[in-house]
Amino acid sequence: MYAEDELRRMTPQERLRLKCALAAIDEQDLAGRVRDKRRAILLAVIVVCCIGLAAWTGLLAATLPKYYRSGGWRGAWVGFDLALLSAFVATGWASWRRRQILIICLVVLATLLCCDAWFDVVLDAHTKGFQASLLSALLIELPLAALAILGARRLLRMTNAVMLRYRGLPGPVPRLRKIPLVGVEPGRPLSDLLAEPETHLPTVPDAEAVDSGRAVR
């Protein structure tokens, strides 16, 4: 702690730098409290959504009729198959062009395939087409969905490995659930994902710094 005499002996420039340093520390403390508040609000919203969805699911299970004649059946399934076709086309294009969006396309494709298998099997239960729907789900849709998920997982781990090596951090790639979000440093809010990358991304060491660090190790 500075004594009053020490503060008086400082030049105006030194006192100004001290003020700026103290203001920066106070700003970091305030930002930390804001981040904790935002994180608590986000977790509370997620918990409320889970409770609400569980209650709504139980209500539907208790009140919906076992059999129901619906309209727009053709439009619903044709529209869904068009969405699935679009997902296949987008995945093929991203794979052919080697674009990073392939990861998103694979996840969307796997999700649609799982939904297709689920609704085919459930809606065809107790009908003549149940066996064909079950075989289609087990032999075509679910295996393709598994391949898409495994492909997205592999691409994510490969991308993370390349980034680690580019930053001079070679080593084994951690499991997918342990890989931190790219673009947000520890302690920074998730809202930074919506900001311009140049404003919050960590600086990448240049080649000379990386080489010198490897030499030291």
User: Is the residue at 80 inside a domain?
Assistant: yes
How many folded domains does the chain comprise?
A: 2
Under DSSP, the state recorded for 189 is -
Q: Say whether pLDDT at 181 is over 80.
A: no
User: Is the residue at 193 inside a domain?
Assistant: no
CA dihedral 209, 214, 216, 217 (to 10 degrees): 150
Neighbours of 117 (CB within 10 A): 20
pLDDT of residue 215: 43
Find the mean pLDDT for residues 5-13: 69
Mean of the per-residue pLDDT values for the chain? 77
pLDDT of residue 114: 96
User: Is the residue at 199 inside a domain?
Assistant: no
Claim to verify: residue 76 and residue 120 sit in the same structural domain: yes
Question: Between 73-97 and 102-123, two packed helices, what is the crossing angle to 10 degrees?
Answer: 150
Claim to verify: residue 38 and residue 132 sit in the same structural domain: no
Using 50, 70 and 90 to split pLDDT, how confident is the model at 20? low
Alpha-carbon span 83 to 112, nearest angstrom:
8
DSSP letters spanning 44-109: HHHHHHHHHHHHHHHHHHHHS-SS---S-HHHHHHHHHHHHHHHHHHHHHHHHHT-TTHHHHHHHH
Q: CA nearest 176: which of 208, 147, 154?
A: 154
Claim to verify: residue 58 and residue 98 sit in the same structural domain: no
User: Is the residue at 203 inside a domain?
Assistant: no
